[in-house]
Each structure stands twice: as C-alpha cells, then as structure tokens.
Amino acid sequence: MLLYALKRLGLALIITAVALILLISMIQLIPGDPAAVLLGPLASPEMREMFRQQMGLDQPALVQIARFFGRVLTGDLGTDVLTNRSVLVTVMEQVPFTLALIFASITWSALIGIPLGCFAALYRGSLADRIVGILSVSSIALPSFVIAIYGLLLFSVKLGWFPTIGAGDRGAPLDQLYHLVLPSLAVGLGWVGYLARMVRASMLEVLSENHVRMARAFGLEERTITYRYALKIAIIPTVVLLGMGVGNMISSAVFAEIVFARPGVGKLIFDAISTRNYPVVMGAVMITTGFYVLCTLIADLVAAGLDPRVRSTL
Amino acid sequence: MSPLLDIKGLSVSFRTPRGDLKALRDVALQVGRGEIVGIIGESGCGKSTLINAIIGLLPANTGAVKGHIGFDGQELVGLPINAMRKLRGERITTIFQDPMTALNPVLTIGAQMTAIQYRRRASTSEKRRRAIEFLEKVRMPDAARRLDQYPHQFSGGMRQRICIAMALLTEPDLLIADEPTTALDATLEVQVIHLLRELQRDIGCSVLFISHHLGAVAELCGRVAIMYAGEVVEQGTAGDIFRDPRHPYTRKLLECDPGRITERQEILPTIPGELPDLVHVPQGCIFRDRCPERFALCGERPPEVTVRPGHQAACHKARELVAS
Ligand SMILES: Nc1ncnc2c1ncn2[C@@H]1O[C@H](COP(=O)(O)OP(=O)(O)OP(=O)(O)O)[C@@H](O)[C@H]1O
Ligand SMILES: [Mg+2]
C-alpha cells in the first residue's frame, strides 16, 4: 500500500507538471502578441511592454517555462493586476468558500445517492426501483444553474426560507451553513441521481458475480453479503468517479457562486475574466488544477485501500 | 436408512423470450450417506441447474419447479428462503465451477474463511486457527501467513484448494462439487481428486461430484448418473456404467473417451449432431436424433429399464445393448 501510495503521488506530481506546461504553452500558442490579446485593445503600448516584462514574455520559451516553474514552486503565482496583491493570497482567500460548497454538495449527495443506489439494486424491478430511476435521471438532466435560479426564486425570494445572497457572516458557522443550503442543493442534486445510478449498476453487477453466489451457498446472511461482500467492490468505481467529479463540480460551483453572489474561486475567475485580470485567472486555474489532481489522488488512494488488486497494479 | 438426498420427478424450467426452456425434466437421483455420486454430461445438459435447484439458488428467471428434493427427510422444493439458508453452509456446502471467480477479491482469505464460520460460537482467533488447520489439510504451504493474503495472490489451483478447504471447514453432510477440476491442469486435477477422496473419508460426508471428465468420475465415484439434455438417461455403479453401459449416449461418451482414466486432454467427446432444443422438447426419446441405434419405437418415451438392481437406463434397447 505504501509503495502504491508513493508511486501514485509521483504520478500526481508528473500530472501537475504536465498540466502546468500545457497551461504555459497555451500562452505561447496564442497567435499574435499575447500581451495585446490578454490586455485587450484598450491597453496602451507602454502597458503591454510592462506586462510583457512582468510576465517574462520577452524571454525565450524554455527560459519562460523554467522561470515559471521556479516561481510556482516558491508559491509566487504573480501579482493581481488590479489590486497589486499576490495572486496566491487573492485566490487562497476564496478557496475555503468553494471548498465548503463542494464538500457540502458531495457529502449530502453521497449520503443520499449511495444508499439509494443500493436500495434500488436490492429491490430491482420493484416500483420503488423504478421511481428512484426516474427521479435520478431527471435530477441528472437538470442543469445545476437552472436548479440554482429556480431554487433561489422559490425558496429565497418567494418563500423566504433561505437567504438569497452571500456566504454568511464570518465566524458564524451556523449562518454560513444556512447560506450553503441552496447553493449545495444546486450543485449536488444532479450528483444524487448520478451516484444512485452508478451504485445501482455496479451493485447489480457485483451481486451477479460468482463469489456472491458462493457466499450465498455458505448461508451467509443477505445483509452481510450486501454490505460486506458486495458494496465494498461496488463502491470502487463510484469513489474514482467522485474524485473526478469534484473537479467537475468546480464548474457547476461557478454558476452557483454567480447566481447566489457567493464568494469563491468560481466567482473570482468569472470576475477576473470580465476585468481581464489575467494573472488572477492563471493563478486560479493553476490552483484548481492542483486541487483536481489532489482529489483524484485521494480517490485513487481510497480505491486502493478498498481493492487490493489496484495496489499491485501501477 | 433412507438416502441422504432423494430427488424424484424434478423438473425445472426457465422463462426465456422464446418460451419456457425445460432445463430439467423428471430427474430422479439418490445419494446415500457417505456415498460419492458422480454426474456426467456434456455442457448445457443441466448439471449446474440441478445443483442450484438443490441449494435453492436458481436464477431469477426460473419458472416452474416441480417434483421433490428430499434432504434427510426434509422437502427442499418450496422450502422458505430462511430455512434453506440454514441448511446452506451448515449441512449442504457447494464448491463451484470456477475457482478464479469464486472468492471475494477484496477480502482476505482469512476474512472469508472466518466469515463462513459465523454460526460457531468461537472467538475470531479460534476461527482463524480452524481456517489454518483446514488450509493445511488441503496442503496449502505456509497457511498461517497466507491467511492474510487476497485471492489474486493465489494461483488457480491454490484457489480451488481454498474453496475445498472452506467447504470442508463447515463439515457438511452433503458436499456438492460442480466441476471442481475443470479449470485445473492434469496434475492438479489428480491431486484435487485424491484430496477430495481423502477428506471425504475423514469427514464421512456424502459427495455429489459433477464433471464432464469421465476419468475423474471413474476414479472417485461409487455411483454415476449420466445426464443428457435435462434428463438422467442412465445410472448405476461406476463399474456398471464404465464396463457395461446400456444407454447409447453413455456408450458414445465412453467410445469418444479413449484414455478414460489415464488420458485427460479431451474437453468433451464429440458425438455427431446437436443437443435438442429445450424450448420445444421433441416427443419420445430425447437422444433419438443423434442415436446410432434408433428404430421405430424411439418416437415413444423410453421406459426406465432396470438392467440389474441399481442400474437403470432409459432406452428401449437397454436389455439388448450388451458390452461388445
Ligand atoms: N438463467 C437461465 N435462463 C435460461 N436458460 C438457462 C439459464 N440457465 C441455464 N439455462 C439453460 O439451461 C440448460 C442447462 O444449463 P446448465 O448451466 O445447468 O448446464 P451445465 O450442464 O451446468 O453446463 P456446463 O457444463 O457448461 O456448466 C442450458 O441449455 C442453458 O442454456
Ligand atoms: Mg455448469
């Protein structure tokens, strides 16, 4: 397990490095003068020159890449063009909000979706299974921004049950949690259906495998078979999916953060793009990339913890 | 004393899109106490269906199950699930066809071997000790250490031994082995068969041994039943069946198996023709279309001819077909 973890960590570092190289090559590949493109038509030649020097765009590509890595490694992601603050600080200020949103969404959707999937698999073909199926597919089909907007209109504006905007008062966890309800509903709802479908399918597959029949032939109780023998296998693809899904959630978080005017990385990127605050966009993208790699790393490690066969691969 | 397992008139059908597939028709079979009975038949003749019917694990699309399965005086057909579950792994234990997939891949051997002892009032360490004891019985080297390994760390032969150890650990009255050696190579097969016999002697259980390898059956079993397309066409002592077969299908099987006991490469002897369609089962003798002895009477259902006490063959010509 330790060996696997080390190898997997190495892989994660390589992936991050490749992602960063791709990111920086993209700047190189932009036709014409990147400074002109990135700063927009209104920028004066002096501004462009300054920007070019600031970004090191006047240097040869390899030097740029090397410098870039050097800076990233020391935590220097550049300076915010508008406020002149460190990008790292700007982005990191927003990270907890997005993390809270994503974590809340994943948690509640997993807590509901996974048992629902197990239930549907155990009672396959029943009315309950069909109802769960229909609800799941509809929840997957609904885009999260639609849920966000309608949730906002119905529960906050019309019924007044939940706050409309913001992330709650600093240092008041309950208030912050209260502010999380609607956004995490929007981000997580599709996942409930997705997870339920996924768990149901893999559970059905596992339950039809030979070793389950063998366990039954030994008279083990259905409960033991379901939760100890089958779920441990059926959950593995779901864990891996969740790891990647968290990365995916960042994009639905963008919508939720905008609709609910919540602070967060999504909103930060959105605002930075509209103000052409290029270093902030870059920094935020880098950090979300790192976050994504971290999530898949954790998911893979959990999967390896569950499945001994995974440990001996890689 | 009544036989331990007494199957009479057992019929099982599966619902399929084409109609009811009659996988077993009017099967009769007995297994006495301490007896080893072999079932031989080519692929698709209903061997696994028979076992699944006995242990109550027929697939979801099973249609009608008719007839009787008596186990130690208890009727198993229609037995409630919970009563059936009490018998499984306690009095009837099964070793399945494919050792590669029979073990749970994410639990250690030790965890699985202790889990099946859930009925015993014993501490986990006692259960582990018992698991090690039985792994040693099936000659697993270094059993105590390997107990904490996962199935993928064992070879096919080793996994089959683990399955056998698990089955015996429960000290059943009836051990059912569904082609336990098909997935193994020749030397391993011989080893496993010796092992099964040795352990059967130790424990004194009855064994229902299923195989399409004639040599293995001849080596191990006292009595043999030959199945064809969902029917038992002939049964008798191993001596009767292998020396004086009376059903043309049995004769063909033996003919196509020159090595019998020593050789083992054959997968299945080839008999010209195909298995009949089990959705539209033809009238009369089921083997008629492929039978070299076919004559006018075969359009009628053949009688169960008793060749000698304990040796029956379902063929009109059973009395005439003497060993050449
Ligand atoms: N769930 C099912 N639905 C429909 N038909 C089935 C089902 N299970 C088995 N059958 C059919 O019933 C017949 C008997 O199958 P069974 O698995 O018992 O054969 P078998 O003798 O064990 O063969 P093998 O040696 O290949 O294991 C076959 O014709 C098979 O196609
Ligand atoms: Mg079979």
Q: Of B97-106, B180-189, B267-276, which range is least confident? A: B267-276
State ipTM. 0.87
Q: Whose CA is nearest to atom 25 of ligand 1?
A: B43
Structure tokens at B217: 């059956």
Query: What CATH number matches the domain at B36-44+83-313, 3.20.20.70, 3.40.50.300, 3.40.640.10, 3.90.1150.10?
Result: 3.40.50.300
Instruction: Inspect the interface and report whether the beta carbons of B93 and A217 lie closer than 8 Å.
Output: yes
In contact, B206 and B173? CB cutoff 8 Å: yes
Per-residue pLDDT band for B185 (boundaries 50, 70, 90) equals confident
Closest-approach residue (CA) in chain B for A233: B106
Best residue in A211, A307, A312 for a mutation probing chain B (most B CBs within 10 Å)? A211
Please tell me what DSSP assigns to residue B103.
S
Question: Between A211, A219, A306, which is nearest B86 by CB?
Answer: A219
Q: Identify the sign of the CA torsion A179, A184, A186, A192.
A: negative
- Please tell me the predicted confidence (pLDDT) of residue B182: 74
Q: Which of A170, A53, A286, A220 is nearest to B107 (CA)?
A: A220
Closest ligand (CA of B47): 1
Instruction: Inspect the interface and report whether the beta carbons of B105 and A218 lie closer than 8 Å.
Output: no
Q: Is the CB of B46 under 6 A from ligand 1?
A: yes
Q: Which residues of B touch A228 (CB under 8 A)?
A: 107, 115
- Please tell me the predicted confidence (pLDDT) of residue A167: 65
How do residues B167-181 score in pLDDT, each as one tens digit?
Answer: 988 889 999 998 887
Residue B275 has pLDDT above 90, yes or no: no
Structure tokens at A275: 């103000």
Q: Which domains, ranges and CATH numbers included, belong to chain A? A: 87-313 (1.10.3720.10)
Residue B261 has pLDDT above 50, yes or no: no
In contact, A77 and A69? CB cutoff 8 Å: no
Residue B115 has pLDDT above 70, yes or no: yes
Q: Which residues of A touch B (CB under 8 A)?
A: 209-211, 213-221, 224, 228-229, 232-233, 306-309, 312
- Please tell me the predicted confidence (pLDDT) of residue A214: 92
pTM across the whole model: 0.80
CA distance B48 to B55: 11
Find the distance separating the first CA and the last CA of chain A, reported in whole Å.
11
- Please tell me the predicted confidence (pLDDT) of residue A36: 65
Q: Of A151-160, B279-288, B309-318, which range is least confident? A: A151-160
In order along its 314 residues, chain A shows pLDDT tens digits of 788 888 888 888 888 888 877 877 776 665 556 666 666 666 777 877 777 777 666 777 777 777 777 777 777 777 776 777 877 877 788 888 888 888 888 888 889 998 899 889 888 888 888 888 888 888 877 776 677 777 767 766 677 676 667 666 677 666 666 667 677 777 788 888 888 999 999 999 999 899 999 999 999 988 889 888 998 899 998 888 888 888 777 777 777 787 777 888 888 888 887 777 777 777 888 888 888 888 888 888 888 888 888 877 76
- Please tell me the predicted confidence (pLDDT) of residue B129: 93
Give the residue, B266 or B183, on which the prediction is more confident.
Answer: B183
Pure H helices in B29-176: 47-55, 81-87, 109-115, 124-137, 143-146, 156-169
Instruction: Inspect the interface and report whether the beta carbons of B89 and A218 lie closer than 8 Å.
Output: yes
How do residues B43-92 score in pLDDT, each as one tens digit?
Answer: 889 999 999 999 999 998 999 999 999 999 899 998 998 899 999 988 99
Per-residue pLDDT band for B267 (boundaries 50, 70, 90) equals low
Closest-approach residue (CA) in chain A for B166: A218
- Please tell me the predicted confidence (pLDDT) of residue A35: 66
Cα-to-centroid distance, B211 and ligand 2 (Å): 9
